[in-house]
Structure 1
């Protein structure tokens, strides 16, 4: 089975999660903690139909997602890496009510039950739905893996050797014309590439290590290791606008 590692954290494994659709990440200070020195990447900022999501669980923000509502995949997700402290996987898949109607609740909701609440309203105009993947041959996948976060009910802590925090960006490069099609409608873009980037800092918030990787969105799962500069050059192939810095000062001391 092919793997679509591109359904963004919008469809989170975290049950009862919340997501605020905001005009700018900068307007939500808690959401900005997932960007090193509050530097939001320039990459993807001009994506048509982009939605900015600050995603919460148990009254605490966990990550930020720039979501492409036209391709119905993430441009990128930003978070701080923490290892999972155990716990199982959530079996339900959630949708963002505010991407259907900006006056609806900020709490992410099980797509099935939201459909029951609003049977006459189509939920999937701006986001992928669970049924888009049914019998498609593609897996939903995660850009922001649940294994990179502790179970919220546990006070898990994390440090790398001499490392206080690890800021992470994960994203996609959409394909030109490769889609999951349902009822002759192009529903979810199948990305050509997935990528990630990280910036590790010490207790003084000074960069000590950085890196990146890219991979074709295929079953081979072959990852090309890159520097942040090399990742910028790679992404530049797919944009007519400058990629810019992914982290503040490109994670340089």
Structure 2
């Protein structure tokens, strides 16, 4: 009897560890947070889902996902120099946001539909069809250009994108990401990054008179660079209104904390352990 109970307990633990949608980022996604510290920012988001983004049987980054607004609160990753892989042409969804008992690992909506015919996939997440003819880009939070293949492919999950103004996405925000690439290559042995969105009060992509995907008011970014010994060497962040204003404002981590405080009555807390000092 004791052996049977032990085997059941072990099976339950292994099932939890293999899951994509988890109750806590620990233990499988902690590598994407500096010194294993998950920020308290966003923890109070109602119905938030914690996703260990899994692709080709590996974890590539972590996302705190707002299932009500159907956009990410933030994605957390560490920078990888690109290895020149091509741009992914598919868009993925998270099966376990449809049914928690389904298989782990992102899939295309088409493939998931063949596995589970007739099941609606969009109750708790955005779908590719939501973005079609919406006037908005599928704006990556965790950018594909900050990764090597296959991690770059994994960023093409709809749980990692938000409706982004086309001009901002293709100009100022893209240039800001490129600026960070140069900084991370030149100054950092490893760079830990958070990229998030601030939902709007009333701006949504609608389909069939239904609010489907919230159009965020702002995008924001925070980074912590460390040397070969894990010692912080540089930090900072940026924010941008999600409009054709096409401008990114740079911040210190303290300044970014003050910026985020404007949008919540909850404590913001540190985004990185010891504020990356």
The answer (yes or no) to whether the contact 2:196–2:220 under 8 Å persists in 1 is yes
Q: Which runs of 4+ in 1 moved over 2 A?
A: 56-60, 115-120, 158-163
Alpha-carbon distance between aligned partners in 2 of 1:120 and 1:177, rounded to the nearest angstrom: 31
Alpha-carbon distance between aligned partners in 2 of 1:182 and 1:161, rounded to the nearest angstrom: 45
Q: Paired residue for 1:129, among 117, 127, 130?
A: 127
Q: Paired residue for 1:90, among 71, 79, 88?
A: 88
Alpha-carbon distance between aligned partners in 1 of 2:209 and 2:113, rounded to the nearest angstrom: 22
Tell me what 1:150 maps to: 148
The answer (yes or no) to whether the contact 1:19–1:96 under 8 Å persists in 2 is no
Alpha-carbon distance between aligned partners in 2 of 1:225 and 1:110, rounded to the nearest angstrom: 35
Bigger Cα Rg = 2
Q: Say if 2:243 is the partner of 1:218.
A: yes
Tell me what 1:54 maps to: 52
Moved more, 216-225 or 93-102: 216-225
The answer (yes or no) to whether the contact 1:19–1:108 under 8 Å persists in 2 is no
Gaps of 5+ in 2: 1-17, 152-181
Alpha-carbon distance between aligned partners in 2 of 1:193 and 1:62, rounded to the nearest angstrom: 25
Q: Say if 2:18 is the partner of 1:21.
A: no
> How far is 1:118 from its partner?
2.7
Q: Paired residue for 2:200, among 132, 150, 175?
A: 175
Alpha-carbon distance between aligned partners in 2 of 1:91 and 1:220, rounded to the nearest angstrom: 29
Under a length normalisation based on structure 2, what TM-score does the superposition of the two structures give? 0.79
Q: Say if 2:246 is the partner of 1:248.
A: no
**RMSD of aligned C-alpha atoms?**
1.9
The size of the alignment, in residue pairs, is: 230
Tell me what 2:185 maps to: 160
> How far is 1:162 from its partner?
5.1
Task: Summarize deviations over 1:64-113 as a string: whole Å, max 9, x none.
Answer: 00000000000000000112111111211111110000000112111123
> How far is 1:115 from its partner?
2.2
Tell me what 1:119 maps to: 117
Cα 1:147–1:160 change in 2 (3 A) is: closer
Task: Summarize deviations over 1:194-219 as a string: whole Å, max 9, x none.
Answer: 00000001111111100000001123
The structure that is helix-richer by fraction is: 2
Tell me what 1:184 maps to: 209
Tell me what 2:14 maps to: none
> How far is 1:19 from its partner?
6.9
Higher relative contact order (CA 8 A, sep 6+): 1
Alpha-carbon distance between aligned partners in 1 of 2:210 and 2:96, rounded to the nearest angstrom: 23
Tell me what 1:3 maps to: none
Gaps of 5+ in 1: 1-17
